[in-house]
Amino acid sequence: METTRKGKEKDTQEDNHILGCIQSTVGSKSREWILPLCSEPRERWCRLKGNLLFLMKNKSSDASEVVILERCWVVEFRSKTGVSIVLTFPSLSAEFQSGEPDLYLEAASKPDCESWAVALGEANSEGLRNKIQHLRRLVMEIKEERSSDEARQFLPTSQLDSLGEPQFTSIQRIANEPKLEFSLACKDLVTATRDRKLNTFIQVSVVHPAEHILTRYSSTEIVEGTKDPLFLTGVTFPPEYPIYEETKIKLTVYDVKDKSQDTVRTSVLPDHKEPRADVGRSFLGCATFRVVDLVKSKEQQLTLTLRTSDGGKTVGTIEVNLVKMGELEEGETDHITADTQDQKCALVRECTATEGLSGKDNLPSLNAVLRNPVCKLYRFPTSDNKWMRIREQMAETTLSFHVPKELINLHIKEDMRRNQELKDLGELAPHWDNMRKSVIAHCDQMLSMYQDTLAELGKHTGSSFKSSCSKGEKTLEFIPINLHLQRMHVHSPRLKDALYDVITVGAPAAHFQGFKNGGLRKLLSKFEAERRNTGYQCIYYSPENTAKAKEVLSNINHLQPLISSHADLLLSSASQRSPDSLKNSLKMLSEKTELFVHAFKDQLVRSALLALYTARPGCVLKKPAVHRNSAEEGGDVQHQDHPSQIKRQDSIPHHSEYDEEEWDRVWANVAKSLNCLIAMVDRLLEKDDISNIKEGENEPSAADSKVLHTGGDWYEQLYPLVITLKDCMGEVVTRAKQSMAFVLLQELACGLPQCLMLTLRRDIVFSQALAGLVCGFIIKLHTGLHDQGFLQQLHTVGLLVQYEGLLSTYSEEAGMLEDMAVGISDLQKVMFKVIEAKSEDFLPIITGRREHYIIEVQLPAKMFELLPQEIKEGKLLRMYPVLFNVGINEQQTLAERFGDTTLQENINQENLELLKEYYKLFTEKMPPDCLPHFQEQNDLKGLLESLHQNIQAKKRKNVEIMWLAATICRKLNGVRFTCCKSAKDRTSMSVTLEQCSILRDEHQLHKDFFIRALDCMRREGCRIENVLKNVKCRKYAFNMIQLMAFPKYYRPPEGTYGKADT
């Protein structure tokens, strides 16, 4: 190959001095043997052949000099003097390691300079050798695939066409279990230098049989200082991964020279060429095997020879062991040490089947809510020198978008009803009418915003999660950040298999709206204080009374159609002259009507009617309005007729023509109409019984039969009473709706537009929190279906939901924590109900309103039958959410030393009381044997006391609070959540620490392997994949200065952190 370029050669002492300033490795000797010393560059033609650079005075002349490009570096630089060279063009220099003087070259243009730099850099024998090695590896891979391709060439055309798509043999063994899992170990690795200690890892690549493309899949952890590395990180292929018996797997062993630089190992990237040597690692050897060879091997183990890239030199062996989670690994681990060079271990030799996890049949129904699982496999030694196997799994959920869309749809319907109720208030005085118009205008704008958001979410396709980079996007503000299920499946030698689940999600917060003025906790308190002082324009109602008004409206909208329906059923039963059906219809009608009447026995309705009356046009008041305070409004219903009580409630003055007792008469008429209906039904049934007796004694005459039939026309006798009941009910509904809508008008008018903006912010935060809760409940229900103690606890006490927060109380994160605290507290108004699925759609159904939601979780019939009768009958299941927060980053250090940590202290203290309340209910209603058997030795009461002491101690970055709270939650069969700003970095540190702590405390992880297991999970586990998924980079977003402020066990291993977008 020959390349010719026109360039300029310059060689002066001054220029060499400049080059030496720019690149310290360049020498300062002059090249007097090339050209006479001069101050101007001289033009030369250069011709490159192989590793020889010929210098010529002109294009046609002979070479005046030949430069051998061996043991030299090509260095690009820009000259900093404008005397003799062009400043706009970069230059390059060949620096010789052999001690020869330097040669300075200046190209005619920037593209020429770049092309010459590449050509000169690859011209030496080392570059040629790298090319040859790369080509040899490609040839080896082509040869491996050649046999199947050649076989197809000899097939007749007809047979070849009939093959169509290639057919491959599936290796699926158990539904919803990983297709293939194996562990790895190397022996007798050869080093380039005798004194060199190897730090090795294995990169796993897959050759897909259909495409013949090599794809990087995963890597093991780095094992330091041994020629016989035993890797704790295995390889697992999830159920949906396209791997077959014909698939080939390539294992490449690398020696890592600098761990801090080894962060370029990225999963699922093309493997077209080997990594560059300057990333801190070097190639040792590789081996390839077919999946069928491993699966069908007698001992389910392969021993492969590691060879260099040219296929000649042997550099060691690699052992591949098939792994099955439900089987025991009998090998002893007596010779394993955590950090020593002689790291040896007997691997899998014999396998014994054990009892698998109960509830594997439940997994198919989880496919409706879980997506894109990531699986990692580990094996760790126990304290008694046995192996335990750990499968770590992470999956996103479709609920990230399903729940917010359902919730927004409910908000739209609720707000449309409210706007219509405001319009139906009727004629109002000018002041109140203008206020109503302003409120409706603002509400319509907010309603339009909700509708636009729902429309945008409906267009979303692709991933089922919201990345941390998107947390500030307006169209996604209702979507939880980075919501995932994190699961650890542990198979121990002497313990039953165990599952440990944690839901990881970004702190529920309104990131798009920002935190300049704080979060919901502060904003709601400030708004309520300001609203009390703006009563000269409107009437102040306390938050409790406003909530009561919404409840009354909700009861009306729910009960009125039910009563009307049951009344129609009563008439239908009467027309059919069916006594049993008539009794049942009357019973249902009576129950619903009594609930309806009871809903209006409240002083709020009475006072609101009076307020609405005074707001009508032409109303004359006897005295000026006096604004009530909330303490005076909460009158007891039992004393509502007491004169002094009525006087205290009278924030709206009496009108001279208003009859306060009229409302009592109106809603009492409903009860009277029902009593008349009940009495008439009783008489009709009594007469029917008498007539049946007479018919049995004597055969009645024709005249008697006619009289009995006429007197027994049930429908005609009940119809007027049913119409009267409906009319009375309609009058009550009209008045009650108007009065309660007037209360809501006051709430909105007193705080426009802040009231609506706070409602929006609260809806956003609640939507994020609810999506996580629904996911956690469904996962917990599926894993606990065979645990009768848990199911009894679920319907008797309720479900504990414990959130672990890692937010600081400094700057914006303090606002996030305030949002999060309110959002989690609002989850108390959520109830769950389990129903039998009638179709293949298992997604949950959400009903209700802002103050009360019911989540209907659907289960297949087979699973539904496993539930207790109480749950099958539709009993509502309560949630008990608690939040404990401990900031751990450098911002928390600033808050502790120069700021304020009161917010964190108050939140932890308040939620400790809620946790104690749940524990009290648990001990009162549940038998003591409901706790898991292997945890009975731990005293929950003692853990609670220890948690109380740690919260009171106010110690800086007291992570003991989080460990205690998490332990209590697990022992009480609760659902665990871990949250930071984006559920990516701090959350990953906390989740991996919790997993390793569980392995140590519950499954006897060898104490010398605790740190190594922690590093394995953080370097090669699911959480680093979560980081890659969010920011397209396998680096936790920490720097060295930040980590100095972190607690010791919350620091990632070297090489896994650095600058990255969050």
d(CA 10, CA 16): 9
Shortest CA distance to 669 belongs to which of 733, 609, 743? 733
**Residues 805 and 979: beta-carbon distance below 8 Å:** yes
Q: What is the DSSP letter of 925?
A: H
* Helix 1022-1031 vs helix 986-1003: crossing angle, to nearest 10: 170
No. of helices (H) and no. of strands (E), the chain? 30, 26
Q: What is the DSSP letter of 498?
A: E
d(CA 826, CA 759): 13
Q: Which helix (H) or strand (E) holds 251?
A: strand 248-256
The token duo for 386 is 């046995």
- The radius of gyration of the chain from alpha carbons, rounded to an integer in Å, stands at 39
Q: Which residues contact 920 (CB under 8 A, 6 or more apart)?
A: none
By residue count, the chain amounts to 1062
Cβ-count burial 596-611 (b if 16+ within 10 Å, e if not): bbebbebbbbbbbbbb
Shortest CA distance to 868 belongs to which of 792, 800, 767? 792
Measured between alpha carbons, how far is residue 591 from residues 548, 600, 668, 724 in Å? 22, 15, 16, 18
Q: What is the DSSP letter of 931?
A: S
d(CA 219, CA 233): 8
Q: Which residues contact 567 (CB under 8 A, 6 or more apart)?
A: 589, 722, 725, 726
Phi, psi of 380 (to 5 degrees): -125, 145
The token duo for 975 is 């659902």
The DSSP string of 499-567 is EEEEEE------TTT-STT--HHHHHHHHHHHHHT-TTTS----HHHHHHHHHHHHHHHHHHHHHHHHH
Q: Which residues contact 594 (CB under 8 A, 6 or more apart)?
A: 671, 674
Residue 996 designated active-site? no
Measured between alpha carbons, how far is residue 42 from residues 3, 80, 105, 333, 1020 in Å? 20, 19, 10, 72, 56
d(CA 159, CA 985): 55
**SS3 assignment, position 146:** helix
Q: Which residues contact 588 (CB under 8 A, 6 or more apart)?
A: 566, 569
Which amino acid is present at 341?
A: Q
**SS3 assignment, position 234:** coil
Which amino acid is present at 805?
A: G
Q: How many CA atoms lie within 13 A of 555 on its CB side?
A: 20
**Residues 775 and 503: beta-carbon distance below 8 Å:** yes
The token duo for 506 is 């970004």
Q: What is the dihedral of CA 669, 672, 678, 684, to 10 degrees?
A: -100
The token duo for 732 is 């009550």
* Helix 430-458 vs helix 754-783: crossing angle, to nearest 10: 40
Q: How many CA atoms lie within 13 A of 676 on its CB side?
A: 16
- Of 186, 728, 980, 1022, the active-site residue reads 980
Q: Which residues pair with 304 in a beta bridge?
A: 318
d(CA 653, CA 650): 6
Write out the catalytic residue numbers.
980
